[in-house]
Amino acid sequence: MDYQSQLLIVMITYMTLLILWGVYQGRKVKTNTDYAIAGRKLPGWVAALSERATGESSWALLGLPGAAYATGLTEIWTAIGCVAGIITAWAAIAWRLRNEAEKHEADTFTDYLAKSHNDYGRMIRMVGSFTIVFFFFFYVGAQFLGGGKVLHTMFGIEPMYGMIITAGIIVPYTIYGGFRSVVYTDVVQAIVMITTLVVGPIVGLIYLSNHPELFAQSIPQALEQAGTSYTSMTRAASGFGAGVVIVGGFSWFFGYLGGQPQLSMRFMAISDPKQAKKARNVGIAWTVIAYIGALMIGWIGIAIFGPDGLADREYVMPSVLLKIFPPAIAAILITGAIAAMISTADSLLILSSTELSENLIKPASKKKIDPKKSLTQSRIITALLAVVALVLANFVKEDTIFTLVSYVWAGIGGTFSIVVLFTLFWKRFHGKATIITIITGMLFTIIWITTGMDEKITARLMTFIVAGVVAMTATFLIPEK
């Protein structure tokens, strides 16, 4: 049996079991709170693994190894920025956000901000939810598009049909079980991901030492033979250029400080403070191990294929696995990676649908909705959102979607990180300042990126700084209601 047939069989089996697992977890959803935030009853290890799978997925398995393959040691700064941000989030923000969400009985990310600044809660819901839904709506479409491209590359399936298959995998259990189904399927993804990122580098190093015909027999030798830019921490740049490289990589730090709603929701859903400590330990340990493994897979790729041996650098991980493992084992690990990538959409989909239903549609209704009907309404909204995102991904130009997605980490991550940090740590910060900060952060990001300034200084840093300055200025100059 050839490799492609093995991969297809493994993938169908894996996806089928994943869907069944998601549906099984969805049976426990009885209320809207269960649907939106898993009843705030998640065990710490479940929340941690789900947060990590949601936060990384294709980035840890394809993006970071690909960047390490293309740039060598320079990518260490990106890893340092991400790891530092994740550790800070788990150590200083997660448990506080969990406690505050419980105190306010908040079911969504924007619901927490609105109830924390109740003087302007209605306006915060409208502005915050609209911003998140708009950008994450395109983000979901991009995930469908990415899934279609992967299936096209691996099996020759038409991209449109690949998108439909991608949606068919994740949408049913997301509609049925909401946040709970999404979280528990994420746990499976996180386990497969960390297995790949631990076993892959270990076997890869052994493979290098036993095959002298390769480009290099070790990572240091591979980097040295690839050229000076690969052994430099700054791509051989110096002075201001070196500073730009370092800051650009480390700037990922700022988006992790509570500003990514799909990650913060995992913090908010943890059952109690004791579980929050367990989640912190699991989340930090997973992150450190995963990032080391991802970098090493990229560098092992240089040793096996040489710096110019791959047409697409982001396929270094599957290419390495196919080289060092028997086809059956490689198929299992690659399937987990593909599943993790295309199922990122489930977290974004459920976040967008709950923000839309709980903070925009339901508050606009004057009638009090029966709890069972409310749950049904949430599921219908999720389904409609998925269909529209799928249609959008098929008809809108690919570069339009990915341009909007590029705003998410800077605009939403940088802006909402400031809002969450100030809400948690500064009592004087109030509702008016929150609204002004959200609007300013998003507008600044759009202007900064569209004018090309992002190529000189990354918007991931500048949005965080500008949003912080605006938040402080508005808090001091505008009196609290």
Could you please report the per-residue DSSP string of 237-252? --THHHHHHHHHHHGG
Q: Are 109 and 268 in contact (CB under 8 A)?
A: yes
What's the mean pLDDT in 233-254? 80
What is the distance between the alpha carbons of residues 96 and 443, in angstroms, rounded to a whole number? 29
In whole numbers, what is the pLDDT of the chain averaged over residues? 88
Distance from CA of residue 283 to its chain's centroid? 14
* Element at 395 (helix H, strand E): helix 371-395
> pLDDT category, 399, cuts 50, 70, 90?
low
Res. 400: pLDDT tops 80? no
Distance from CA of residue 119 to its chain's centroid? 32
Q: Is 454 helix (H, G, I), strand (E, B) or coil?
A: helix
Q: Is 218 helix (H, G, I), strand (E, B) or coil?
A: coil
Res. 387: pLDDT tops 80? yes
Question: Per-residue pLDDT tens for 40-59?
Answer: 999 999 999 999 998 887 77
Percentage of residues in the chain with pLDDT exceeding 70? 94
What's the mean pLDDT in 187-197? 91
> pLDDT category, 401, cuts 50, 70, 90?
low
Please report the pLDDT score of residue 150 as a whole number: 75
> How many Cβ atoms from other residues are within 10 Å of residue 375's Cβ?
20
- Candidates 434, 426, 438; CA nearest to 463 is 438
Please report the pLDDT score of residue 420 as a whole number: 96
> pLDDT category, 237, cuts 50, 70, 90?
low
Question: Per-residue pLDDT tens for 430-461?
Answer: 999 999 999 999 999 999 998 989 888 889 89
Please report the pLDDT score of residue 236 as a whole number: 64
Domain map (residue ranges) of the chain: 3-258+271-397
The DSSP output letter for 430 is: -
> pLDDT category, 367, cuts 50, 70, 90?
low
What is the distance between the alpha carbons of residues 231 and 221, in angstroms, rounded to a whole number? 10
- Report the predicted TM-score, pTM, of the whole model to 2 decimal places: 0.91
Please report the pLDDT score of residue 45 as a whole number: 97
Please report the pLDDT score of residue 84 as a whole number: 96
| Architecture of the domain whose range is 3-258+271-397 | Up-down Bundle (1.20)
